[in-house]
Structure 1
Amino acid sequence: MSQLQFHPVWKDKLTLKQKEELLTFFEEQAPITGKFDAVLVRGKYKKNEGAVATVLLRNGYEKLLDIKQAIVEITDSANHLVAAEKFELDLSLKGDSALPWSFVFSRESVKKADVDSANWKIHVDLQEEIQTKKE
């Protein structure tokens, strides 16, 4: 049975309503097995011309996944690049679970600033990951 986990910072900062909304979104997703993926929860452009994408990072493996680096791309419905950036992370994602996370893109990373965020697609390419023993 897949579960939703929260990073300690998120656990303390999110309201009960925000946690419930994320849980509902999580429960609406089709389960995955034997792979990692990311699902866009919401996105927006920032006032400083950057962007932020809140995603569910989903670990369909049975093992704990330690994520250290990722290249994250946002594309539009025609697969044109909206934003891309490499992120240094320190996240642990339990086996068969999901974790909400926000990627904040700098202004320099944004290539198209006029795409409706409802049409964004997210691609998270793990550059450095460590699968540890089965939990």
Structure 2
Amino acid sequence: MYMSKLSFHPVWEHKLTNEQKKEFMEILNSLPPSEIDLEAVPVRGKYKKNGGVVATVLLRNSSHEPLDIKCVKVEITDHENEVIATESFAPDLHIEADSAMPWSFVFAKESVQKRSVDSINWKLNIYLPEIG
């Protein structure tokens, strides 16, 4: 079985319990090898009381090069590929080669286009700006 490394943003490193870290590792170990360099694997999602959305994902860098994510467009779609929410973020993350990092994207109410979709059906698409 192929195993990636799991790393945590410093804020997450101090806030997560060992049990939560273990849960992320189990999710990572259960995933098949990825065909794409950057993949956002949904872990959990929820609608906030204020109308926004929170999507927690494992950002998986399957390339052999480290990846710096300064800005990114994230889109949540449902099982019919209809957009639930879309927003741009500036997370300033560094993900080592062949590694994964948990992260939460918090979408503002204004970016949510579809409400009350069961988060078990969510898919996240990550769009990095073209380089060069």
The 5 A counterparts of 1:49-128 are 49-127=51-129
| Corresponding residue of 1:26 | 28
Equivalent in the alignment of 1:133: none
State the secondary structure of the residue aligned to 2:43: strand
Q: How many residues align?
A: 130
Change (3 A) 1:81 1:33: closer
Task: List runs of 5+ in structure 2 lacking aligned partners.
Answer: none
SS in 1 for 2:66: strand
Q: In structure 1, give the amino acid aligned to 2:97.
A: G
Q: Which has the higher strand share?
A: 1
Deviating beyond 4 angstroms after TM superposition, the runs of 4 or more aligned structure 1 residues are: none
Query: Tell me, which stretches of 5 or more residues in structure 1 are unaligned?
Result: 131-135
Q: TM-score, normalised by structure 2?
A: 0.92
Question: In structure 1, how many angstroms separate the alpha carbons of the residues matched to 2:31 and 2:131?
Answer: 23
Q: State the distance in 2 between where 1:49 and 1:35 align.
A: 32
Deviation at 1:128, TM superposition (A): 6.2
Looking at structure 2, the residues matched to 59 and 129 of structure 1 have their Cα atoms a distance apart, in angstroms, of 17
TM-score w.r.t. length of structure 1? 0.91
Percent identical among aligned pairs is: 54
Aligned to 2:129, the other structure's residue is in SS state: strand
The CA RMSD measured in Å over matched residues stands at 1.6
